[in-house]
Amino acid sequence: MKVFVLRINMAHFGLGACFLIAGVLVYVLARPASSTYFLIGYPELHSVLPNLTHLLRPIASTAPEFFHPLALSLLSMAVLTNTRSRVVVCFSWLTIDAFFECCQKYGEELAQYIPLWFEQVPVLKKLDDFIRLGTFDSSDLIAILCGTLTALIINVLTSSKEGGNHEQDHRKP
C-alpha cells in the first residue's frame, strides 16, 4: 500500500491564515457592506466598532489588495516543498490579482464577454459587477506587488533547507 505524505510548512500556513483573516477584517470593518459580496445583508457589522472603522478607512482601499496575494501565496506555499514552485505560486497570484485589477479599468468593454451562464454559478455570479462597478487604482497594483514581495520575503525567512521545525507530516493511510 502506497502512503501519501503531505508536508505542511506550518509557519506559511499560520501566517497565511492570519493575513487572510486580516484582509477579511478590513472588509468587515472598513468597507461598506453594500460593496462587499459576502457582507450584503449585514450592514450592522459596521456599527459594532465605529471608532475602529473610522481608523481603518485610510487603508481600506488598498489593504485587501495587499493581503490577498500575500495570504494566498503563503497558503499555497505551505504545501509546496520546492523553492522554485513557491516562486511560481507567488508570481501566479501576482498575475491573477493584477489581471483582475486591470479588468476594472476596462470594465464596461470586458463585461460584455462574460458568459450568461456565470449567473448560475454562485462564485462567478458577481464577476460582472466586480468588473463593471469596480474601480481601477494604480495604488492597488502597487499593493498587490508589495503583498507578493512580502510573501517571498516571508518564504525566505521561514523556510529551512532540511524541512526544519515548521513542517509536519500528515500521513493518509
Label residue 19 left, alpha or beta by phi (over 0 means left) and psi (-120 to 50 means alpha): alpha
Which residues face 172 on adjacent strands?
A: 4
pLDDT surpasses 60 at 1? yes
35-81 pLDDT, tens digit per residue, is 666 555 565 555 555 556 566 666 777 899 999 999 999 999 999 87
Match 525566505 to its residue by C-alpha cell.
Answer: 156
What pTM was computed for the model? 0.77
Helix (DSSP H) and strand (DSSP E) numbers for the chain? 7, 2
> Please, what is the average pLDDT of the chain?
79
